[in-house]
Amino acid sequence: MEIIILSKEIVKPSKPTPPNLRNHKLGIIEQLVFELCISPIFFYKNNKPLSEINNTDIADSRLRSSLSETLTLFHPLAGELSSKDPTSVDCNDKGVLYVEARVKGVSLDEFLQNPNLSQLINFLPQNGSMGSKMNYVQTLETLVSLQVTRFDCGGMAIGGVLFHKLLDGSTMSKFFKTWAKIARGDDGGVEKTAPLDFTSASLQFPTQNLPQTFLKKWNMLFFNEGKSLVRRFVFDARAIESIKTKVSSENVPHPTRVEALTTFIWKHMALATRRVKGISSTPSMVTHIVNLRSRIEPQCLNAFGNLIFIAMSDVIEMTKLDLPHLVGLVRKMFENMNGENLKVLGGDNAIDFLVDIATQVGKLLPNNLDTYKFTSWCNLGLYDVDFGWGKPIFVAPFIDTIGSLNNKQQIILVENGKNDGIEAWILRNNEEIFELENDEEFLAFASPNPSVHAY
C-alpha cells in the first residue's frame, strides 16, 4: 500500500480567539499526563454513485472550512504550549496541520478484509522528521494534526494525532463529533453547539509544584521497556454475555461489559505472563484510566481537557486466578473513584497523595509486579462521527510500538459499532502476545483480528 501526499496546510480558527481566552490554564492532571498522543482513525465507505467518486472538491472544501469553524470552539487545540509557563497554553491561533492524501494499490474493502495493523500509521499525518517516531512530541508541528486519506474506490479515512496533555478521550470524541456536526450542517453549526467548559478542570484540580524527580518516577511506574507487539481481538455480543456470566459473583451479580472484559483479559494476560516467566504465581494488578466528569462533585460533563485519573486495583498473588474474585477487585477499583476520594487530588495534600501512590507501587516493582494497564474508548460515541456521508464502518486506535516513552503495555477497549461487540487492542511484549494467541480458552471468546466485514 502506497500513500501519496497531495497537500499540506495549516488550518486556523475561522475567528480570532478573544483576548480573555488566549491563555488556557492546565491543571495537575495535565501535569501527570505523559507526553503522548491520542491517535484515532475513522474509516468511511463510499455511499455515492461511481460517477461522483472523483468529484471530491466540494467535500474537501467543506471539511477544511468546518474544521476552521470547529477550532473557534476548541481554541486551545489551535495554540501551542507556553514557552514561559509549562502549565498553560498560548491560544494564539497558530492552527492545526491538515494533510490530504490518496491511497494507491488497495481499496478500502481490501484493507478492511484483512486489516494490517502495522499500516495504520499511513493514515496519520507525518512530517518529514516523524518517520517511525510517531509519538515523539518534539516532532509535532502543531498540537493537533489531521489527515484525510481517500481510496480510489471512494472510501475515506480521517486520522488524527492529538497531544494528550491538552485533552483526553472524552474531549477527543467531542472534538470529532463537533467537527462532523458542523461539516454536515446540522443545527445551525457553531451557533447552536453547546459551549465547552474550559475552567472546571484546572479549578477542581489546580496545578502543583511537582518536582521533576517525582514526575520521572511517576512516568517509570507506568511505562516499560522491551520489544512489543500490538494485536486486535474482537469480542462479539454473545461472547461478552458469556464472559459476564462466567465472571459474575454474589458480590457482583451484574458486571458491566467493561468490568467483565477487564477481568477476563486480566486473568489470561496473567496466565501468559506466568508461562513466559516459568513460574506458577506472581503479584499482579490492573489499572484503568477513568473519566472523572460524572464522578466528581459538582459534575463537569462538558469540561474540556483532561479529567481522568488512574484507578488501581488491589495487588493479588494467587496460584489460581478466580474470575469471580477478580471481578470483585475490578468493581472495587472503579467504586473507589468517587467524589469523596478524589477531593484529595484537588486539595493541599495532592502531592502527598501522589507520592504515597508512587511509593506503594514502587515498593512492589522489585518483586516482579505485573501491571495490566487498561483504557476504554467505549461509550464515547466514536461511531457517531458522521461528516455527512454516513457513520464510520471502522474506528481504530493507532498504538505506537516504538514510542518515545516506551509505552509497552496497554490495552484499549473500543466498541466495534455494529453488534454491541468490543475490540481489545493489546500492546504487550512479544513472548506474552505469543502465549495469548495460543490460549484456547481465551480464543474461545476472542476472535484475532477478523475482517471488519465479518461482523
Which of the residues are catalytic? Answer: 164, 386
Q: Where are the beta strands (DSSP E) in 200-350?
A: 228-235, 284-291, 308-312
216 backbone dihedrals φ, ψ, rounded to 5° = -65, -40
- Cα–Cα distance for residue pair 336/285, rounded to 1 Å: 15
Question: What is the DSSP-derived secondary structure letter of residue 143?
Answer: S
Query: What are the CB-based long-range contacts (under 8 Å, 24+) for 52-57?
Result: 52/154, 53/152, 53/153, 53/154, 56/150
Compute the residue count for the chain.
455
What is the separation of C-alpha 109 from the centre of its chain, rounded to a whole number of angstroms? 25
Angle at 154 between CA 148 and CA 159, to 5 degrees: 20
Cβ atoms of 168 and 305 closer than 8 Å = yes
69 backbone dihedrals φ, ψ, rounded to 5° = -65, -40
Cβ atoms of 399 and 427 closer than 8 Å = yes
- Cα–Cα distance for residue pair 49/56, rounded to 1 Å: 13
Give the position of cell 491538515. 98
Give the position of cell 502495522. 118
Cis upstream peptide for 450 (omega within 30°): no
- Cα–Cα distance for residue pair 253/231, rounded to 1 Å: 30
- Cα–Cα distance for residue pair 345/205, rounded to 1 Å: 6
Residue 150's nearest CA partner among 67, 59, 66 is 59
Q: Extract the C-alpha cell encoding 293.
A: 466528569
Q: Is 322 helix (H, G, I), strand (E, B) or coil?
A: coil
